[in-house]
């Protein structure tokens, strides 16, 4: 009888229980068992970042993670970023507007890497952008449009935060 294990985890804010082979790659669990095919396979060896997800808030290559390791984990895939099916996440919108995606294989991983980067560096320098995306390879864009997408996403994020910041009461200048 095939060796199976039951794992419980939270994926895109949804508590999930699965019975799968313990060493099945998390990438395959996402794509085959959960039909979350936004997560892509590139190299399958931890080198390209196409399969990147957020694993307990950290960027991780799902092709290197056995299913058993995801027990009790909290995951975010590209499907979990957009607020709903009709609206893109602001980072996705910036990639669209700036031409940061061509064939799209690297794009989900790039966008999750950008999300992770901006959480740590809301106003990233060029060096921080290069370092933040250093684990994600793209064969199409030459990277410049991706870097522009990230910069635009940082600006959009800052504007969104400013727009939703609580207003300070006006100073009383009368004596």
Cα–Cα distances in Å, from 33 out to 29, 56, 73, 162? 5, 20, 17, 40
> Rule CB under 6 A: is residue 41 a binding residue for ligand FES?
yes
Closest CA to 78 of 119, 31, 131: 31
Question: Stretches 1-9, 37-45, 121-129, 162-170: which one binds ligand FES (CB under 6 A)?
Answer: 37-45
Question: Stretches 8-16, 31-39, 42-50, 83-91: which one binds ligand FES (CB under 6 A)?
Answer: 42-50
> Rule CB under 6 A: is residue 126 a binding residue for ligand FES?
no
Identified binder of ligand FES from the candidate list 10, 69, 102, 145, rule CB under 6 A: 102
Shortest Cβ 90–ligand FES spacing (Å): 19
> Rule CB under 6 A: is residue 61 a binding residue for ligand FES?
yes
Closest CA to 71 of 146, 11, 27, 128: 11
Shortest Cβ 146–ligand FES spacing (Å): 8
> Rule CB under 6 A: is residue 22 a binding residue for ligand FES?
no
CB neighbour class for 2 (10 Å; exposed up to 12, middle 13-18, buried from 19): exposed
Nearby residues of 154 by Cβ (< 8 Å), 6 or more positions away = 118, 122, 123, 124
Count of residues in contact with ligand FES, rule CB under 6 A = 23
> Rule CB under 6 A: is residue 75 a binding residue for ligand FES?
no
Cα–Cα distance, 51 to 108 (Å, whole number): 8
Binding site for ligand FES (CB under 6 A): 41-44, 46-51, 61, 63, 101-107, 138-141
């Amino acid at each position: 009888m095939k060796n199976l294990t039951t794992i419980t985890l939270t994926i895109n804010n949804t508590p999930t229980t699965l019975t799968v082979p313990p060493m099945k790659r998390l990438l395959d669990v996402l794509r085959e068992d959960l039909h979350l095919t936004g997560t892509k396979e590139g190299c399958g060896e931890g080198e390209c970042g196409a399969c990147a997800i957020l694993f307990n808030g950290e960027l991780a290559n799902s092709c290197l993670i056995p299913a058993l390791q995801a027990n009790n984990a909290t995951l975010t895939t590209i499907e979990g970023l957009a607020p709903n099916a009709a609206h893109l996440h602001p980072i996705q919108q910036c990639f669209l507007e700036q031409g940061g995606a061509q064939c799209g294989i690297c794009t989900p991983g790039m966008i999750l890497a950008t999300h992770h980067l901006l959480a740590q560096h809301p106003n990233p320098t060029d060096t921080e952008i290069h370092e933040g995306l250093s684990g994600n390879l793209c064969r199409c864009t030459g990277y410049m449009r991706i870097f522009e997408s990230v910069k635009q996403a940082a600006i959009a994020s800052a504007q969104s935060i400013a727009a939703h910041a609580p207003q300070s009461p006006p100073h009383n200048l009368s004596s």
